[in-house]
Amino acid sequence: MLCEECGEREAAVVVTTVINGESTSRNLCRECVKKYQKGGDVSALLAAILSSMYKARGSSGKSCAHCGMTLEEFNKTGMLGCAECYRTFRSELDPMLNRIQGRTQHAGRRPHTDPAALERGDRIMKLRRAMEAAVSEEAFEEAARLRDELKKLQEGGTEEPAKEGAGE
């Protein structure tokens, strides 16, 4: 059997990975195993594992409209071509990411920032949402007031939070 990584040399090592109770095995030659051990290239190893897990599921012939990446290319590299690939291949990626990470949405940390700056960012986000809701409800005066408040806040002003239901 040939190495699943390079496809050139005879496989001599079986690497078995168990993630959330699901076992995946890869047959690798000694050189490819050494490459992972020496370089400590965890991202390449993870890409190879993801790729092999996906290969077991088969492919659908889809391709990304933005970059042209196909599922077959993903199978070979374990890497996607662009951000649009995540949308294009969502139905294939979500089950795999959920198995590996326990979720399909990124849940990273916020950078260490001044608490006031975090609060200001949260306030800006809430104002944008409120403004969009007001526009969709055709409450244009309220939307304009929220827009002005948002503009002041973005320019560095400290605007008091808007009262819920004000202007109705």
> What's residue 129's pLDDT?
92
Domain identity same for 80 and 144:
no
For the record, the structure tokens of 3 come out as: 């190495």
Total domains present in the chain: 2
Residues 120 and 89 in one domain: no
The answer to whether residue 137 scores a pLDDT higher than 60 is yes
DSSP 162: P
* 22-28 and 13-19 beta bridge pairing: antiparallel
If you count them, how many residues does the chain have?
168
Q: Based on the domain organization, do 32 and 65 belong to the same domain?
A: yes
Q: Supply the pTM of this predicted model.
A: 0.32
Check whether residue 43 and residue 121 sit in a common domain. Answer: no
- pLDDT of 128 higher than 60: yes
Say if 119 falls within a structural domain.
yes
Q: Are 145 and 130 in contact (CB under 8 A)?
A: no
Asked whether 82 and 69 are in contact (CB, 8 A), the reply is yes
pLDDT given for residue 127 in this prediction: 92
Burial of 61 (0-12, 13-18, 19+ CB in 10 A): exposed
Enclosing domain of residue 20 = 13-101
Q: Would you say residue 162 lies in a domain?
A: no
Model confidence over 88-102: pLDDT tens digits? 888 888 887 777 767
| Residue 156 backbone phi and psi in degrees, to 5 | 105, 0
User: Are 126 and 97 members of one domain?
Assistant: no
Instruction: At 161, list the tokens.
Output: 């939070």
Q: What are phi and psi of 160, to 5 degrees?
A: -70, 145
Structural domain contains residue 110: no
β-partners of residue 31 are none
Query: Cβ distance 90 to 64 under 8 Å?
Result: no
Same domain as 97, residue 18: yes
Residues 42, 68, single domain; the answer is yes
Please name the residues in contact with 131: beta carbons below 8 A apart, sequence gap of 6 or more.
143, 146, 147, 150
Question: Out of 48-52, 55-59, 70-74, 133-137, which region has the weakest mean confidence (pLDDT)?
Answer: 55-59
Q: Which residue has the tokens 């690798």?
A: 28
